[in-house]
Amino acid sequence: MKRFRLAALLAAAAVALLPTTARADTAYPDPRPITGQEIIHDPTVSHLKSGPYVAYSTGGIIGARLSDDGTQWDDAGNAFAEPPSWWYEYNDTGDPWAPDLSYRAGRYWLYYAVSSWGTNHSAIGVATSPSGLPGTWTDQGKVFTSETSDTWNAIDPALIQADGKLWMAFGSYWTGIRMVELDPKTGKAVTGATVHHLATRPDAPYAVEGPYIVKHGRYYYLFASYDACCSGVNSTYKIKVGRSTSVTGPYVDSTGAALLEGGGDLVLEGHGRYVGTGGQSVFQDKGADWLAYHYYDAEDDGTPKLGLNKLSWQKNGWPVVR
């Protein structure tokens, strides 16, 4: 699940490093070289209308990075100066996770989750901004929640517009990936929203989370992170994908296996120093699609860093990282 404490992560990495001779899998490309502030977890990236690139992430009060060129990244503080008071209903530290940034109706929308490790007493919230820059956000409160009596977990939000409606995919463990319809005016779940089921694993603990959906051609592509994050070089995160002609599914992989039955094509997994690739999102820049994610650097004590790869589309319609 997308929850991260840097101190705990580094402590775990210090006692359990991968061998320095880790084999590089040439089937997967390395991330684009970047400079500056590379440390990040669960990135959501956008090229703002005002010019710079911004990346928001788990850590801090939604940590922010800015870049003029997409290569040199600088620390830009946090989205918020202090946590909204209602966050403390879901954890003692007011610690938000896994943001999702989008632009709609003349303003930027920043969705995020608040919860505690190991529980689905969770909430997804939203804030709005005219510019998308850190320090300009106004919190709008809860979007959707889950309780321990539910069979889903309201974290890891990701927005998509489809067929004239606004949708939010979400989910982590607790039977996997779900989706609800949102009211486009408020950005919050419609009253009595149906909770659609998009992807899961056949066995507990149903280790799939962090959905992100992209429309390409006539298909919707559901990207998700599988297996375990947040353990430094012991992380086993990997990114898989399935597709559907309907945003609410059913999603299948290239062999026809249903994502509701554990299917999914591998898009990116750990290779060489780049361990535990996941926490992904997709953004468009200059007509190209880019995959943003974090990895744990096996040559830097398992520190989580920003990965960026161009996302290309094969003739058969399936995505591949470059």
Query: What local confidence, expressed as pLDDT, does residue 246 receive?
Result: 98
| Measured distance CA(167)–CA(159) in Å, rounded | 6
Would you place residue 27 in the very low, low, confident or very high pLDDT band (cuts 50, 70, 90)? confident
Condensed to tens digits (0 to 9), the pLDDT of residues 220-252 reads 999 999 999 999 999 999 999 999 999 999 999
- Encoding tokens for residue 117? 């490790």
Chain centre distance of CA 36: 22
Residue with tokens 């709008």: 140
* CB 229, CB 235: distance < 8 Å: yes
Query: What local confidence, expressed as pLDDT, does residue 12 receive?
Result: 38
Query: What local confidence, expressed as pLDDT, does residue 6 receive?
Result: 38
Examine the pLDDT at 174 and tell me if it is beyond 50. Answer: yes
Examine the pLDDT at 8 and tell me if it is beyond 80. Answer: no
Worst-scoring range by mean pLDDT, 17-26, 133-142, 156-165, 202-211? 17-26
CA distances to 185, 211, 319 from 229, rounded to whole Å, are 34, 14, 23
Examine the pLDDT at 22 and tell me if it is beyond 60. Answer: no
Residue with tokens 């909204």: 84
Domain boundaries, the chain: 6-321
Condensed to tens digits (0 to 9), the pLDDT of residues 275-314 reads 999 999 999 999 999 999 999 999 999 999 999 999 999 9
* CB 112, CB 60: distance < 8 Å: no
Fold of domain 6-321: Tachylectin-2; Chain A (2.115.10)
Contact partners, residue 287, CB within 8 Å, separation at least 6: none
For residues 57-61, average pLDDT: 95
Average pLDDT of every residue of the chain: 93
Query: What local confidence, expressed as pLDDT, does residue 322 receive?
Result: 96
Query: What local confidence, expressed as pLDDT, does residue 198 receive?
Result: 98
Would you place residue 125 in the very low, low, confident or very high pLDDT band (cuts 50, 70, 90)? very high
Residues marked active site are found at 42, 209
CA distances to 16, 180, 243, 281, 297 from 45, rounded to whole Å, are 31, 23, 22, 8, 20
Condensed to tens digits (0 to 9), the pLDDT of residues 62-106 reads 999 999 999 999 999 999 999 999 999 999 999 999 999 999 999
